[in-house]
């Protein structure tokens, strides 16, 4: 009797299992004949935790130094802190919108984003005034817009689309692919490093191109060739600009001229060193009162070190590392090449920019004039970074269940066309 009583329940269970399996989207695997199963699930909410904590640390730091930064400008003491709150609110809107966008939408926005980046780049060069020798900001209606942030965002969208198409067509190692990457490198060198004199942002973009091409499976020899071109362009950009030469000499010997060219580097080191183990506290900053240039923007890590000490900076770096680890895991588990390349590009953008900013503040790298993601004051940076994290949040909703832990940890795998690729998983995500 027990046997017959269990059979209806077992039949219902099997019907439910078949129904659930049928409702899941199925995609063609890289091998061609087999199928891989894409499962939709709850997104990676840890991204929100890390992002919120970093935004909170930045907002609190900007609030604490806002009176000091505005002391000599005649602005309201709460000018920077109130605007930072507005920027975070706009960034939240960008995050929500990006997290809800279907991946197909980004493919459609690829060309408009590239055209917009080009128009803004030339507008910045010819319709704005240089600041510290660089054309980076376009003022519109009392608000400033930094063109480099839009270029980084558009570059990642375009590269993910182009490289995924090259992989699908089996052309990732072809000369045509290398030529187009070379054109992208030359364009960035001309527009960002040349016209805008923003070598720091250009370095981040070059890193994005190199990392995404490497992940896509571009042969190392060809990648080194592109790297050689980048090195030549960087050397030319440094030699052709007096203020860049001064920055390099300052980096090599920051204490040689602390009153002139080495002023910011010396003041940053003073701020970092004066924080000690536990920092001076929120209301006891000295460097923000006219000593450390760009205290709320490029130099905010030095201010964090002064206020919160070694413990505080360790926490900030730990939060970044936690955020990057989550993004890396999402990229490894993403269900197709397009989304995976995009997430890896975003990871490269944020991590390289963080390393350059912090390295400059502690004397390990030359000053580059770029922000610390999510922490520095600035609307354009916060909005585009939060939009990028919104894309990662969207991708985290989907996982290719056919890929085991062993497959995730394997960095080289044969693709459908027989060529070696450093990506894992299927290539045709149509239901995200």
Kindly tell me if the per-residue pLDDT of 13 is higher than 70.
no
How confident is residue 416, by pLDDT bands cut at 50, 70 and 90?
A: very low
Band the pLDDT of 403: cuts 50, 70, 90: low
* Measured distance between the N- and C-terminal CA atoms of the chain, rounded to whole angstroms: 47
Q: What is the reported pLDDT for 382?
A: 94
Look at residue 77 and tell me if it is in a domain. yes
Contact 400, 430 (CB under 8 A): no
Query: Which pLDDT belongs to residue 133?
Result: 66
Does pLDDT of 87 surpass 90? yes
pLDDT at residue 290 tops 60: yes
Question: Mean pLDDT: which of 202-211, 222-231, 344-353 is highest?
Answer: 344-353
Asked if residue 410 belongs to a domain, the reply is yes
pLDDT higher than threshold 90 for residue 301: yes
Q: How many other β-carbons are positioned within 10 Å of the β-carbon of residue 221?
A: 7
**CA pair distance 338, 299, nearest whole angstrom:** 35
- Report the b/e string of 383-399 with b at 16+ CB within 10 A: bbbbbbbbbbbbbbbbb
| Predicted pLDDT of residue 3 | 43
- pTM metric for this prediction: 0.83
Q: 192-201, 276-285, 298-307, 411-420: which has the minimum mean pLDDT?
A: 411-420
266 domain-assigned: yes
pLDDT band at 424 (very low <50, low <70, confident <90, very high): low
Q: Is there a domain that residue 129 lies in?
A: yes
Number of domains present in the structure of the chain: 1
Q: 79, 70 in Cβ contact below 8 A? A: yes
Report percent pLDDT > 70 for the chain: 79
Considering Cα of 142, then 353, then 377, then 343, what sign does the dihedral take?
Answer: positive
Rounded mean pLDDT, 42-63: 94
Classify residue 39: in a domain, yes or no.
Answer: no
The answer as to whether 19 is a domain residue is no
38: left (phi > 0), else alpha (psi -120 to 50), else beta? Answer: beta
Are the CB atoms for 331 and 343 separated by under 8 Å?
Answer: yes
Give the tens place of pLDDT for each residue, 125-183: 777 777 666 777 777 766 778 888 999 999 999 999 999 998 888 888 888 888 888 88
Q: How far apart are CA 205 and CA 410, in angstroms?
A: 27
14 in a domain, yes or no? no
Would the pLDDT of 428 be above 50?
Answer: no
Q: Looking at per-residue confidence, does 100 or 13 come out higher?
A: 100
Mean local confidence (pLDDT), 348-368: 90
Mean pLDDT of 12-17: 47
* HSE of 114, CA atoms in CB hemisphere, 13 A: 16
Burial of residue 153, with CB atoms counted within 10 A of its CB: 0-12 exposed, 13-18 middle, 19 or more buried: buried
Among 170, 191, 211, smallest CA distance to 120 is for 191
Phi and psi torsions of 40, nearest 5°: -90, 135
- The answer as to whether 429 is a domain residue is no
| Residue 319 scores a pLDDT above 60 | yes
Q: Any idea which of 28-42, 55-69, 82-96, 236-250 has the lowest mean pLDDT? A: 28-42
Domain ranges, residue 407 = 56-421
Q: How far apart are CA 291 and CA 351, in angstroms?
A: 28
Distances (CA, A) of 170 to 29, 161, 225, 423: 15, 14, 21, 14
């Amino acid at each position: 009797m027990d046997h017959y009583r269990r059979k209806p329940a077992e039949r219902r269970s099997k019907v439910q299992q078949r129904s659930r399996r049928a409702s899941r989207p199925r995609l063609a695997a890289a091998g061609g004949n087999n199928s891989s199963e894409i499962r939709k699930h709850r997104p990676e909410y840890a991204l929100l935790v890390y992002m919120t904590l970093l935004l909170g640390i930045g907002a609190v730091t900007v609030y604490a130094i806002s009176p000091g930064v505005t002391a000599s400008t005649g602005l309201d003491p709460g000018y920077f802190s109130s605007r930072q709150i507005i920027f975070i609110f706009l960034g939240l809107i960008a995050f929500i919108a990006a997290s809800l966008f279907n991946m197909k939408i980004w493919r459609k926005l690829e060309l408009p984003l590239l055209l917009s980046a080009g128009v803004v780049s030339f507008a910045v060069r010819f319709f704005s005034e240089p600041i510290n020798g660089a054309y980076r900001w376009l003022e519109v209606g009392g608000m400033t817009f930094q063109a480099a942030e839009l270029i980084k965002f558009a570059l990642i969208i375009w590269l993910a689309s182009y490289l995924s198409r090259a992989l699908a067509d089996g052309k990732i190692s072809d000369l045509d692919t290398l030529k187009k990457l070379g054109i992208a490198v030359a364009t960035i060198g001309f527009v960002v490093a040349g016209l805008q004199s923003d070598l720091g942002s250009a370095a981040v973009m070059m890193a994005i191109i190199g990392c995404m091409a490497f992940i896509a499976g571009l042969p190392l020899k060809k990648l080194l060739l592109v790297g050689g071109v980048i090195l030549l362009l960087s050397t030319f950009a440094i030699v052709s600009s007096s203020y860049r030469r001064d920055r390099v000499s300052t980096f090599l010997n920051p204490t040689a001229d602390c009153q002139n060219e080495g002023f910011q580097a010396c003041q940053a080191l003073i701020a970092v060193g004066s924080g000690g183990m536990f920092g001076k506290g929120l209301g006891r900053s000295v460097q923000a009162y006219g000593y450390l240039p760009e205290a709320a923007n490029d130099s905010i890590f030095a201010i964090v070190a002064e206020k919160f000490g070694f413990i505080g900076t360790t926490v900030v770096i730990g939060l970044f590392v936690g955020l990057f680890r989550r993004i890396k895991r999402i990229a490894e588990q993403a269900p197709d090449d397009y989304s995976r390349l995009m997430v890896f590009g975003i990871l490269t953008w944020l991590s390289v920019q963080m390393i350059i900013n912090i390295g400059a503040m502690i004397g390990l790298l030359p000053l580059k004039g770029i922000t610390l993601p999510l922490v520095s004051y600035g609307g354009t940076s916060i909005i585009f970074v939060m939009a990028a994290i919104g894309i990662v949040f969207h991708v985290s909703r989907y996982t290719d269940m056919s890929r085991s832990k062993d497959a995730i940890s394997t960095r080289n795998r044969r693709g459908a066309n027989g060529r070696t690729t450093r990506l894992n998983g299927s290539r045709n995500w149509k239901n995200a």
